[in-house]
Amino acid sequence: MTVAVRKDDLPELRREHQLHMGHGHDVAWLDKAEVQAEVASPLFEAGIWSKERTGTVQPAKLAWGLKAAALSLGVTIYEHTPMEEVEDLGPKLRIRTHDGVITAPKVLFATNAWCAGHKKIKNYVVAMRDRVIATEPLSDEQLSRIGWIHRQGIYDTRTQLNYMRLTKDNRIVYGGRIGYYYGDKTDPEGDRKIEVYDRLAGYFFKTFPQLEDVKFSHAWSGPIDLTTRLAVHFQPYYGGKGVYAGGYSGFGVTASRFGARLGIEMLDDTGVPELDLGLANSLPRPIPREPFRWPGAAITMRALDEVDDKGGWRRAWVKMVHAMGFPL
Ligand SMILES: Cc1cc2nc3c(=O)[nH]c(=O)nc-3n(C[C@H](O)[C@H](O)[C@H](O)COP(=O)(O)OP(=O)(O)OC[C@H]3O[C@@H](n4cnc5c(N)ncnc54)[C@H](O)[C@@H]3O)c2cc1C
């Protein structure tokens, strides 16, 4: 379900609804009363509810399932063995790790935000932190205050979007408020501090004030690979023997299946029609490097945090960042 948190967001939500309808998807429009009947929040003005072709994924189970599938095909997995260097041997590439080498004719680099350390890839990819908090399990009485009997996965239309879902044991997992650390750090000490999650918790209680007696049991974050496209792009290397596929910008749980498949088609030069898509053969807009990246990100984060409530210079800044290519 996508929910509009301001009346101004309704036209955009209508457009999204029409796009679904144009493709024949079974997506319901919910007016204020209807959305409140599904999930009660003083912020929700309207919603669209996609009832087919959508679902929620438990990402750890997905990873374990992929691992089991790979092992059943005879793949050997070496964990904690980072690629440290790539050498072009002509017909093959040699990947060096701390205690071994792998030689292969073709390599798909699917290293997500960690690639933001690479001298060329970093022109297009920023390593951001995406943050999540989880509540203790809600009692039946606490859950009844918000309804949510259909247990939809939800994201809202806030400029810095928030997303939320229920777990099997009725915790609410609530995410959003991305952050950036100087130099595209992928494991910053700063995100281990609990204060970093205060603002996210604040938005949780704005969304569900009727749950003010609920406590949080977990808070965590991870790196995402932000690009101006907010979707995958491909960068060929070593005369086409290597392809970097990434840039999912925090939307890659299902999209990375598509990205990986297309990356492999590219390496094998199969000529499938998808390779002619602009998505496959164009790059997103470049993003300024340090020392400009950090101050730019800091001002943008502040503007995004406050634009919906305070407007002013924040709106002008967000427009400028939009003009740079970020679809904010
Ligand atoms: C908190 C959080 C919430 C999110 N929520 C959602 C969501 O609701 N929906 C959604 O669609 N997406 C979500 N995402 C994003 C999603 O997890 C990613 O887009 C997706 O996992 C990308 O898949 P990937 O295979 O490209 O990269 P990853 O799953 O990140 O895998 C990259 C792998 O490369 C490895 N690696 C890095 N460097 C090297 C090296 N030098 N050598 C060897 N291996 C290396 C890493 O260890 C890692 O295993 C979220 C991400 C975070 C952090």
Domains in the chain: boundaries:
2-54+126-226, 59-125+229-281, 293-323
Is ligand 1 within 6 A of the CB of residue 82? yes
At 324 the pLDDT is 84
Indicate the burial class of 186 (C-beta count within 10 angstroms; 0-12, 13-18, 19 or more): buried
Atom of ligand 1 nearest to the CA of 97: 42
At 11 the pLDDT is 96
At 190 the pLDDT is 92
Tell me how far apart the alpha carbons of residues 216 and 236 are, in angstroms, rounded to a whole number: 44
How many Cβ atoms sit within 10 Å of the Cβ of residue 201?
16
- Interval between CA 224 and ligand 1 midpoint (Å): 7
Is ligand 1 within 6 A of the CB of residue 176? no
Residues 99-117: tens digit of each pLDDT: 999 999 999 999 999 998 8
pTM check: above 0.95: no
Is ligand 1 within 6 A of the CB of residue 110? yes
At 309 the pLDDT is 81
Q: Among the listed ranges 52-66, 80-94, 270-284, which one has the minimum average pLDDT value?
A: 52-66
3-state secondary structure of 232: coil
Is ligand 1 within 6 A of the CB of residue 312? no
- Interval between CA 57 and ligand 1 midpoint (Å): 14
How many Cβ atoms sit within 10 Å of the Cβ of residue 20?
18
At 310 the pLDDT is 87
pLDDT at 327 over 80: no
Indicate the burial class of 61 (C-beta count within 10 angstroms; 0-12, 13-18, 19 or more): exposed
**DSSP letter string over 246-311?**
E--TT-HHHHHHHHHHHHHHHHHT---GGGGSHHHH-PPPP---TTTHHHHHHHHHHHHHHHHHH-
Average pLDDT, the chain: 94
Closest residue to atom 34 of ligand 1, CA basis: 111
At 301 the pLDDT is 86
At 32 the pLDDT is 97
- Interval between CA 184 and ligand 1 midpoint (Å): 15
Annotation: CATH topology of 2-54+126-226: D-Amino Acid Oxidase; Chain A, domain 2 (3.30.9)
Residues 4-52: tens digit of each pLDDT: 999 999 999 999 999 999 999 999 999 999 999 999 999 999 999 998 8
At 175 the pLDDT is 97
pLDDT at 134 over 90: yes
What is the average per-residue pLDDT within 266-271?
96
At 19 the pLDDT is 96
- Interval between CA 183 and ligand 1 midpoint (Å): 19
Side-chain-side CA neighbours of residue 213 (13 Å): 6
At 160 the pLDDT is 78
CA 173 vs CA 131, 140, 153: distances in Å = 11, 17, 10
Site to substitute for ligand 1 among 112, 227, 258, most atoms within 8 A of C-beta: 112
E strands of the chain, at which residues?
2-4, 27-30, 46-50, 85-88, 93-97, 100-104, 107-109, 126-135, 154-156, 163-166, 172-179, 216-226, 233-237, 242-246
Annotation: CATH topology of 59-125+229-281: FAD/NAD(P)-binding domain (3.50.50)
Site to substitute for ligand 1 among 243, 253, 254, 264, most atoms within 8 A of C-beta: 253
Sign of CA dihedral 40, 45, 51, 57: negative
At 116 the pLDDT is 85
At 306 the pLDDT is 85
- Interval between CA 30 and ligand 1 midpoint (Å): 33
What single-letter DSSP state applies at residue 218? E
pLDDT at 54 over 90: no
Fold match between domain 2-54+126-226 and domain 59-125+229-281? no
Q: Residues of the chain with pLDDT > 90: what percent? A: 85
At 161 the pLDDT is 86
Tell me how far apart the alpha carbons of residues 35 and 5 are, in angstroms, rounded to a whole number: 11
Pair 210, 202: CB distance under 8 Å = no
* Phi, psi (degrees; rounded to nearest 5) at 138: -80, 145
Residues 150-207: tens digit of each pLDDT: 999 999 998 778 999 999 999 999 999 889 999 999 999 999 999 999 999 999 999 9
Between 327 and 277, the more confident residue is 277
Look up residue 130 and give its amino acid: D
Q: What does the buried/exposed string (b/e) look like for 165-178 if buried means 16 or more CB atoms within 10 Å of the residue's CB?
A: bbeeebbbbbbbbb
